[in-house]
């Protein structure tokens, strides 16, 4: 099967961990352990997130005002190498017979997307109230509550077109394990002359993974994170995993924008567009999720596995 894997930024750098290179490296090695068995049986395309990492780069950038702030599209491109390189290296070490390649990927968005007026995408670490207030005052960042603290939020426009899709398709058709749309892709708009221009945003990795899967005619979309499954009554004593959902049932779930909502929306989009299944669950159980033994599957009535 041809499978597009969406690898969450929080799976590569867990919520309770310090934003260090050593922690990221250890988690990437664990991710490669989970993905390598899939790659031995299936044609994989990997799209990774960058929420914690792009926020870290933005924070480092803000601490050096003498050099000026780099825009988010440039920081997104940086995270494509920051994460994509060690992921590709780890997979190549486990799959010496496979060709592995990463593509720096621009993704077109609309300049009129309402997301630019309503930032919802959380990036970077969780701050306490005092630090959050200080960052808002100093840099004009938008903050929203997350757990007992606050995280920076930025615009997350919908992906419309993958600029490098022809090149990605050539590599995939040739049997290459491709990493693309890293960090959700580099957000660009197209001007009246047809030129691409970077914009201040971070595209949601799950939405980009769904678009990649549609464009590549994938057999399945596999969205991997650091939680077991989509949960009903999340955070309450009645919390329980939802093992199977239709797209309509997925749409009806009451989920916060910074939680499982992007994954559920991306899964429902892919299923509606292709009538093929999408899976959501914990990275460490990737093989079992694809077999339907763990996680959540979103499929049409009677849809195939």
Catalytic (active-site) positions: 9-10, 121, 205, 263
State how far the Cα of 272 lies from the Cα of 56, in Å rounded to an integer. 35
Separation in Å, CA 123 to CA 30, 237, 246: 22, 29, 30
Residues 6+ apart with CB under 8 A from 23: 13, 14, 17
Specify whether the CB–CB gap between 11 and 25 falls below 8 A: no
Q: What are the structure tokens assigned to 110, written together?
A: 């609309």
Element (H, E) at 153: strand 149-154
CB atoms within 10 A of CB 119: 21
Give the HSE-up count for residue 196: Cα atoms under 13 Å, Cβ half-sphere: 14
Determine phi and psi for 234, rounding to 5 degrees. Answer: -55, 135
The 10 Å CB-count burial string (b at 16+, else e) for 77-99 is bbbbebbbebbbebbbebbeeee
Q: Where do runs of H (alpha helix) occur along 111-218?
A: 129-139, 165-173, 205-215
- Per the structure block, which two tokens stand in for 4? 């597009």
Q: Which phi and psi angles does 72 have, rounded to 5°?
A: -65, -30
Contact 12, 82 (CB under 8 A): no
For Cα atoms 162, 203, 266, give the angle at the middle one, nearest 5 degrees: 80
């Amino acid at each position: 099967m041809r499978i597009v894997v969406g690898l969450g930024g929080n799976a590569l750098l867990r919520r309770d961990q310090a934003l260090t290179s050593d922690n990221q490296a250890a988690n990437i090695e664990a991710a490669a352990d989970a993905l390598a068995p899939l790659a031995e049986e299936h044609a994989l395309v990997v799209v990774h997130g960058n929420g914690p990492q792009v926020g870290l780069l933005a924070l480092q950038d803000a601490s050096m005002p003498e050099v000026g702030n780099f825009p988010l599209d440039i920081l997104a491109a940086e995270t494509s190498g920051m994460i994509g390189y060690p992921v590709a290296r780890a997979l190549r070490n486990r799959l010496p017979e496979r060709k592995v390649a990463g593509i720096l990927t621009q993704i077109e968005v609309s300049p009129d997307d309402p997301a630019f007026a309503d930032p919802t995408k959380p990036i970077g670490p969780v701050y306490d109230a005092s630090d959050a207030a200080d960052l808002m005052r100093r840099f004009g960042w938008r903050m929203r509550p997350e757990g007992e603290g606050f995280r920076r939020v930025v615009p997350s426009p919908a992906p419309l077109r993958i600029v490098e899709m022809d090149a990605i398709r050539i590599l995939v058709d040739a049997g290459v394990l491709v990493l693309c749309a890293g960090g959700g892709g580099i957000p660009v708009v197209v001007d009246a002359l047809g030129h691409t221009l970077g914009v201040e945003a971070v595209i949601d990795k799950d939405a980009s993974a769904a678009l990649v899967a549609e464009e590549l005619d994938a057999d399945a979309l596999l969205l991997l994170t650091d939680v077991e499954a989509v949960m009903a009554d999340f955070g309450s004593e009645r919390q329980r995993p939802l093992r199977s959902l239709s797209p309509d049932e997925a749409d009806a779930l009451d989920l916060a924008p910074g939680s499982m909502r992007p994954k559920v929306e991306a899964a429902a989009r892919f299923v509606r567009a292709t009538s093929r299944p999408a899976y959501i669950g914990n990275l460490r159980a990737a093989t079992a999720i694809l077999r339907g033994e763990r996680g959540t599957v979103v499929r049409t009535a009677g849809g195939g596995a």
